[in-house]
Amino acid sequence: MERIGIVGAGAWGTTLAKLLAEKGHAVTLWVWERELAAAIMRERENGIYLPGVELPETLEVTTSLKQVPRGCSALILVTPSHILRSAFKELLPSLDPSVLLLSATKGLEYDSGLTMSQVMRQVAPHARSIAVLSGPSFAKEVSRGLPAAMVAASGDEATARHAQDLLNTTNLRVYAGSDPLGVELGGAIKNVIAIAAGVVDGLALGHNALAALITRGLREMTRLGVAMGARAETFAGLAGMGDLVLTCTGDLSRNRQLGLSLGRGASVSELLQRSSTVKEGVNTAKAAVGLAQRFSVEMPICREVCAVLFENKSPRDALTDLMTRTLKAEVE
């Protein structure tokens, strides 16, 4: 059994903490909100982000970020993408060089367009073991023991196998992968496409439109990934097509729900102000468009989502512009 630190007590971080504690590992979960930390310790439930799910008595909770890595053989980062860099910098002085560093955050850094493992490499260039985790995984379902499958990927095979063995359970099947860039890009960009999918349903455009959007969205993320050095087959797997289909069709998807409300006429500012949860697709939309420009890749769906989110473009105008683009061959 290992000692594991988990940074981030949203729904997914709490779910991973629960699963690992139930496997018998010694798990410490970092919670930013002091009141929430006290409530979790008292009630053994994360009533804000994972209500109704009982947490193991053995799960330790702390509000001290520097305490999390002490004695750990693995550290899992599940923070929103925009704070991962600052949190990791604060953790770094306390980390043993041999610790497995695992990112379970599905997003891109807003300003740089870097994936989370790239951020970690930039902050800690001499880190030995960095892996990423992604795939179709609504926390609410995984936390209740419903079956799911994900991929843990690293450029180092031993690191990927370590992450795989650590996280695999009888209900969560984890595959090892060797293309962390593709896994992270799939996990991030699917959130942007999910916003568009929500808009499609919010505008009541039908099943045909949704199927076309998902298919062309997969093409966009694959095109960018290959241009950046990822492998095309990764996007046909769990972190690509698997997570894309789930997030574009499942009612538990926060990004899809955002798009659904946009399609029904709500404003972006109104939706973001009234929600306590992070919609990674919002920041990732702008980062993805920046990457598309940098690598000379066409990503029309991401571009139109970005225009709706940041340029006050109406969803119907975005749809019109997508449907009236210059005709092309399907593989272009």
Which active-site residues does the annotation give?
Answer: 190
CA 241 to chain centre: 14
Torsional class of 145: left (φ above 0), alpha (ψ -120 to 50), beta (otherwise): left
What is the token pair recorded at 93?
């002085």
- Total Cβ atoms within 10 A of residue 111: 12
> CA 237, 242, 246 angle in degrees (round to 5)?
170
293's enclosing H/E stretch is helix 280-294
- Please give the Cα distance from 110 to 126 (Å, whole number): 24
Q: Return the amino acid letter for 289.
A: V
Are the C-beta atoms of 121 and 144 separated by less than 8 Å?
no
- Total Cβ atoms within 10 A of residue 238: 24
Are the C-beta atoms of 27 and 59 separated by less than 8 Å?
yes
Q: Tell me the helix, strand and coil percentages in the chain, rounded to 5.
A: 55, 15, 35
Distance, first Cα to last Cα, the chain:
49
What is the token pair recorded at 113?
């367009």
Residues in the chain: 332
